[in-house]
Amino acid sequence: MSLASFDRPMKPKGIQQGLPATMRAVRFDSAAGKLELAEIPVPKAHRDEVIVKVAACGICRSDLARIDGFVQPGMRVYTPGHEAAGVVAAVGDDVRSWVPGDRVVVAAGRECHACPECKEGNGADNCSDLRLMAVHYDGAWAEYLVTSATALVAVPDAVPLEHAAVLSGAVSTPYGAIDTAGLRPAEAVGVWGSGGLGTHLVQLARICGASPIIALDSRPEARERALARGADVALDPANKRVASYIAEITRGRGLDVAFDFVGRESTFEQAQKVLGERGRLVLVKTAPEGSLVEQWLSDGEDGRTIIGHTGYRVRHLRDLVELAERGRLDVTASISAILPLARVADGLAKVRSYEGNPLRLLLRP
CA atoms 74, 62, 363, 28: torsion sign: negative
What is the topology classification, in CATH, of domain 22-154+331-364? Quinone Oxidoreductase; Chain A, domain 1 (3.90.180)
Cα 318 from Cα 5, distance rounded (Å)? 24
Residue spans per domain, the chain: 22-154+331-364, 171-308
For residue 287, what pLDDT is reported? 38
Contacts of 214 (CB under 8 A, 6+ apart): 188, 189, 190, 191, 231, 232, 233, 234, 235, 246, 249, 255
> For 331-348, what is each residue's pLDDT tens digit?
999 999 999 999 999 999
Architecture per CATH, 171-308: 3-Layer(aba) Sandwich (3.40)
For residue 219, what pLDDT is reported? 95
Higher-confidence position of 254 and 8 = 254
For residue 343, what pLDDT is reported? 97
> For 207-251, what is each residue's pLDDT tens digit?
999 999 999 999 999 999 999 999 999 999 999 999 999 999 999
For residue 310, what pLDDT is reported? 87
> For 103-116, what is each residue's pLDDT tens digit?
999 999 999 889 99
298 pLDDT above the threshold of 60: no
For residue 281, what pLDDT is reported? 96
What value, to the nearest 5°, has the Cα angle with vertex 42 and ends 58 and 75?
Answer: 60
pTM listed for this prediction: 0.89
Cα 296 from Cα 305, distance rounded (Å)? 9
Higher-confidence position of 7 and 243 = 243
The counts of H helices and E strands in the chain are 11, 18
> For 168-195, what is each residue's pLDDT tens digit?
989 999 999 999 999 999 999 999 999 9
> For 73-98, what is each residue's pLDDT tens digit?
889 999 999 999 999 999 999 999 99
Q: How confident is the model at residue 16 (pLDDT cuts 50, 70, 90)?
A: low
